Amino acid sequence: MPDTAILWLRRDLRLTDNPALSEALARCERVVPVYIHAPHEEAPWEPGAASCWWLHHSLSALAKDLAGLGSRLIIARGDSLATLRGLIGQTGATHCLWNRLYDPATIRRDTAVKQALRADGIACDSFNAAMLLEPWQVQTGAGAPYRVFTPYWRRCVGQLDQVGRPLPRPDALPPVAADIPSLGVDALGLLPRIRWDAGLDATWQPGEAGAAARLRAFLAGPVHGYREGRDLPAEHGTSMLSPHLHWGEIGPRQLLATIGGAQDGGANDRRDSEDDRAHYLRELGWRDFSLQLLYHFPQTTDAPLDPKFSSFPWRDDPQDALLRAWQQGRTGIPIVDAGMRELWHTGWMHNRVRMIVASLLTKNLRLSWQQGARWFWDTLVDADLASNTQGWQWSAGSGADAAPYFRIFNPVRQGERFDPKGRYVRRWCPELNRLPDKFIHQPWEAPTALLQPCGVRLGTDYPLPVVDLKGSRAEALAAYDQIKQGT
């Protein structure tokens, strides 16, 4: 009987540059691709609502792509080990291959599965499809993990020659026996019952083809001028590839090969283009940095990396009024509200604005970063545990390479600098649309005689600020002094 491999797909939902798929085809005549829905095995970080929406559409796209190559996606739900053993029994498989994940729960699960299947006599191996360089490949001279990004990335750049070329997409795949049962994607119940997802539908195309289209659009425009354009939320200045990267519809090795390639144009154009591309590759490095931090410090999903922040005096918000105002984009601070509304409507938020809304929550409102991380986890289509954890710990001042706690973003100044005409705010807070640029980021400073003809009644049409920015900044610094002094 020909050798058969089970290809266990998780967050590597692509056919191009899929190391486990390539190895399965090299070792075995038959390959059975399977996705097992087991969110309980990722507890306490089961996929949130926006992630489930994405997963539904990504699995649908992958099933179509596999069918186009003559194969079939087997979809199951339940215990991963039991399901894999059942498939091995049905197919007579001799191999079980997958691509690695790096969050704590899946590491524990995958380690147990590998040990159990190897004890059963099954050849089990896993591969790197998610990182440029894996967590154990980049270390300090003392053999320790990096906790500061700049030296980490400097070391990575010196090792990028170890990153192989992307693997080709197969031209065809062996058929999967028709008698192997499979659920339909709809049976997983991933889509919301109350359809709040119209904005996601209008914004995204999950799947490998959608990732490729997004990359082409980035290369055709935003990558040119990325160094500055990435900070302007009203512009299409970023790649918006983060959800495709999270679900493995495109891999970092593909982006390194494509975006790091040689450029056309004159010498000055080449220098500018190379600088823009280097800045984007640095963002890929930050993603790797976050993954290696989570791998080496798994407790940081819930606990501060800097232990002194364990005693930080977060504000008591007994009715969750401040938290709800922040979540709903009703803080009365326009660029914050614009970002939170963009998040709810599209499942995504511009990175500059992510930093602004996180600073307001953790420093001005003085609510814990864990509450912000949980909200992002449920509402972001690119909710990646490593990036989400690192981003929130950075904003709170409690993580590796973190922004110092005393660095508190002023959302008015941030808005004036990065959205000077208020185009981003006007899009997501249309009730402020008629305000002049001078007051678009601080409507509470506008005279009543100006607000009335603009159709803005503060406290009615648009909320008054839930917090005094100057006073709350002073309170945040005082709270930081308490833990710095150990009182």
Q: Which residues are catalytic?
A: 283, 286, 314, 351, 369, 392
Q: Can you say how many angstroms the Cα of residue 395 is from the centroid of all Cα atoms in its chain?
A: 16
Distance separating alpha carbons of residues 454 and 462, to the nearest angstrom: 12
Is 12 annotated in a binding site? The answer is: no
What is the Cα–Cα distance from 7 to 329, expressed in whole angstroms?
43
Residue 126 is assigned to a ligand binding site: no
340 annotated ligand binder: no
Burial label for 347, CB within 10 Å (0-12, 13-18, 19+), is: buried
Find residue 33's DSSP bridge partners: 7
CB atoms within 10 A of CB 69: 15
Q: By CB neighbour count within 10 A (0-12 exposed, 13-18 middle, 19+ buried), where does 79 fall?
A: middle
DSSP state of 32: E
User: What Å distances lie between residue 52 and 74, 186, 208, CA to CA?
Assistant: 18, 12, 17
* Contact yes or no for 76/25 (Cβ under 8 A): no
- The response to whether 275 counts as a known ligand-binding position is no
362 near 355, Cβ under 8 Å? no
C-alpha dihedral (265, 268, 273, 276), degrees to nearest 10? -170
Is position 355 annotated in a ligand binding site? no
The angle formed by the CA atoms of residues 191, 196 and 199, to the nearest 5 degrees, is: 100
Beta strands (DSSP E) in 3-73 are 4-9, 30-37
240 is in an annotated binding site: yes
71 annotated to bind ligand? no
Task: Name the residue with tokens 């799947």.
Answer: 207
Is 317 among the annotated ligand-binding positions?
no
Question: What is the amino acid identity at position 265?
Answer: G
How far apart (Å, rounded) are the C-alpha atoms in residues 360 and 30?
A: 54
**Residue 310 annotated as binding site:** no
The reply to whether 241 sits in an annotated binding site is: yes
- DSSP labels for 110-121? HHHHHHHHHHTT
Annotated binding-site residues read 226, 238-242, 280, 382-384
Annotated binding-site residues for FAD read 226, 238-242, 280, 382-384
